[in-house]
Amino acid sequence: MLNQEVAKVFEQIADLLEIKGEDRFRINSYRKVARSLESLTEDVGELARQGALQKIPGVGKGTAERIEQYLADGRISLHEELLASLPEGLLRLLAIPGLGPKKVGVLYHELQIAGVADLQAAIAAGKVEALPGFGAKSVQKIAEGIEFLARSAGRTPLGIGRMLAAGIREKLEALPGVKRVEMAGSLRRGRETVGDLDLLCEAKDGAAVVEAFTKLPEATGVRASGETKGSILLPNPEGGEMQVDLRVVPGESFGAALQYFTGSKEHNVRLRELAVRKGWKLNEYGLFDGDKLLAGRDEQEIYRRLGLAYIPPELREDRGEIECGGKVPGLLTIEDIRGDLHMHTRASDGLCTVEEMAAAAKARGYEYIAITDHSRSSVIANGLSVDRLHEHVAAVRAAAKRIKGIAVLAGVECDILSDGSLDYPEEVLAELDWVVASVHAAQTQSRDRLTGRTVDAMACPYVHVIGHPSGRLINRREAMDLDWERVFEAAARTRTALEVSGAWQRLDLKDVHVRQAMEAGCWLCVDTDAHAIEQLDQMPLGVQTARRGWATADRVVNAQSLPALRQWLAAG
């Protein structure tokens, strides 16, 4: 968490400098430090104690001193000076999709806009549209971004929620008398964002567990404390606080409580209707025939008694899982994943070497990986020129010969440019084992143009997968306006896989689109887009998202064995 804290401060320094119109080189130097800290696998505090801060990519003497100041005082003087020099509301404007620091600077300097309310008033008065670099279309996007921001308020990305809940669960599991602790709610179902966090605990002395829960050192507040229920507040890395609710239940009711508090509300209504038809009652305490407990210790028995096959938590959204009697296809599991085919190294904007990423993947039981550093147009990500790409591919292949026990494919993440062309000519892509094609720029083009760019990329015989196809960033940037029917048709026709990115900011394709892609006969590829070793651990988020879309292993490229993957590649 410390690395992320410091990274956030450096990113904010860069934003504030850009709003003020400072030197571009200086701005980018702070952004590079922020990116490095975000992906850093070692604790920045430990590196500082070792005097090794300047070994972090982009960190020089001055920025190292600022990191040390934050570690010592919890503040950076430059950051505080910049905050004091600008209205506080400008930072809120940066959260609006379509508004970057440069445009916020124009709004502030030209119209004295200092917050969301000022911006809405200026849009209504037609003042923003008249500014250089804005225009009617841009202003419409900003207005839609304000609405998007309002809709996403109070929801936290799944990856952040899981991290917070896992930390609390680990501490609860260590308490005397606690038999088990499970996540529930939308977190267990794998929804892309969550509200509160729900934890369920089996223990005999509920009051003692709740008391210990409310006294956890990370709790910033206590909302409730009772014999079997407790509620605390935690600092949310995304800002503000997040509520965590704990319920302690006896073993004979644990399954019923887990089912009930997992939800969804719509799914639970359907289950209660089935119970009522049989003259029974279903609640968080169990399934009852009058006063007789029919089931409650485990979820499977509840579903069986109601005449259903066990329904995995990810599918409990009332999207057809009841109509088929719970007889859903065998969903993809984390154990099915044989490799990760989207990751970055120091060659572009990653923090680790090829050997380090391969060793970490091998430790996770993978058969293969693909090294896919950025292409030349991703300047901010240190994208590879054609010459650098050739050198890098040679280095990857040399490393692959040295590394035993895991296959290493030489690949690239190739930008799909604004005119629809690819960042490298086909003869260059033909030399690679694996090509991820992604849209990183000009994401506000028309639906037809954006869709055409993606479809055109799939027509290239050397493109194997479309990376994070919608381009969204959860709670930060809306998905591109794509004609998904055209995208899925082209993907199925060209046998181009569509990525389900496990990166917590993306989860892209999202669950609804995964299901549509499956129904269209598309192939999927579940990846992490890892820029550091620890980010390989995001794979379960991608798998859970794929499961919510009813994805099965037989349609996931990297759930195939290495020989089957090579056969898939040869089939074109």
Do residues 104 and 232 both lie within one domain? no
pLDDT given for residue 96 in this prediction:
84
pTM given for the model: 0.82
Do residues 370 and 316 both lie within one domain? no
Three state DSSP letters for 21-89: CCCHHHHHHHHHHHHHHHHCCCCHHHHHHCCCHHHCCCCCHHHHHHHHHHHHHCCCHHHHHHHHHCCCH
Query: Average pLDDT, whole number, for the chain?
Result: 94
pLDDT given for residue 299 in this prediction:
97
| For range 354-383, the mean pLDDT | 96
H and E: helices and strands count for the chain: 23, 17
Q: How confident is the model at residue 239 (pLDDT cuts 50, 70, 90)?
A: confident
CATH number at residue 540: 3.20.20.140
Residue ending a domain, choose from 294, 312, 328: 328
How do beta strands 156-157 and 193-194 pair? antiparallel
For 141, left (φ over 0), alpha (ψ -120 to 50), or beta?
alpha
Query: How many domains does the chain fold into?
Result: 4
SS3 of residue 197 by DSSP: strand
Q: For the purposes of burial, counting CB atoms within 10 Å of the CB of 321, is it exposed (0-12), middle (13-18) or buried (19 or more)?
A: buried
**How many CB atoms neighbour CB 130 within 10 A?**
13
pLDDT given for residue 478 in this prediction:
87
Do residues 403 and 453 both lie within one domain? yes
Question: Over the stretch 40-80, which tens digit does the pLDDT of each residue have?
Answer: 778 898 899 999 999 898 899 999 999 999 999 888 999 99
SS3 of residue 214 by DSSP: helix
CA separation for the pair 75, 83 (Å, rounded): 12
Residue ending a domain, choose from 269, 300, 328: 328
Whether 132 has a pLDDT exceeding 90, the answer reads no
Do residues 37 and 162 both lie within one domain? no
Q: How confident is the model at residue 152 (pLDDT cuts 50, 70, 90)?
A: low
Structure tokens at 218: 């990370």
Q: How confident is the model at residue 145 (pLDDT cuts 50, 70, 90)?
A: confident
Do residues 279 and 368 both lie within one domain? no
CA neighbor of 522 nearest in space, from 491, 568, 547: 491
CA separation for the pair 338, 486 (Å, rounded): 30
What one-character DSSP code corresponds to residue 333? -
CATH number at residue 303: 3.30.210.10
How do beta strands 292-295 and 286-289 pair? antiparallel
| For range 256-263, the mean pLDDT | 97
pLDDT given for residue 278 in this prediction:
96
Tell which wins on pLDDT, 300 or 97: 300
Whether 370 has a pLDDT exceeding 90, the answer reads yes
Do residues 243 and 263 both lie within one domain? no
Do residues 299 and 183 both lie within one domain? no
Q: For the purposes of burial, counting CB atoms within 10 Å of the CB of 516, is it exposed (0-12), middle (13-18) or buried (19 or more)?
A: middle
How do beta strands 193-194 and 197-203 pair? unpaired
| Rounded-to-5 percentages of helix, strand, coil across the chain | 50, 15, 35
Do residues 360 and 504 both lie within one domain? yes
pLDDT given for residue 153 in this prediction:
66
Instruction: Out of 120-134, 279-293, 499-513, pick the least confident.
Output: 120-134
Question: Over the stretch 314-334, which tens digit does the pLDDT of each residue have?
Answer: 999 999 999 999 999 999 999
Instruction: For residue 160, give Cα distances in angstroms to 165, 373, 417, 459.
Output: 9, 25, 31, 37
Q: How confident is the model at residue 147 (pLDDT cuts 50, 70, 90)?
A: confident
Residue ending a domain, choose from 118, 152, 186: 152
Structure tokens at 553: 């292993």
Do residues 360 and 389 both lie within one domain? yes
Residue type, 150: A
Instruction: Out of 151-160, 352-361, 546-555, pick the least confident.
Output: 151-160
pLDDT given for residue 300 in this prediction:
97
CB 522 within 8 A of CB 485: no
Do residues 82 and 169 both lie within one domain? no
pLDDT given for residue 524 in this prediction:
98
Do residues 83 and 188 both lie within one domain? no
Do residues 245 and 257 both lie within one domain? no
| For range 278-284, the mean pLDDT | 96
Domain of 292?
Answer: 253-328
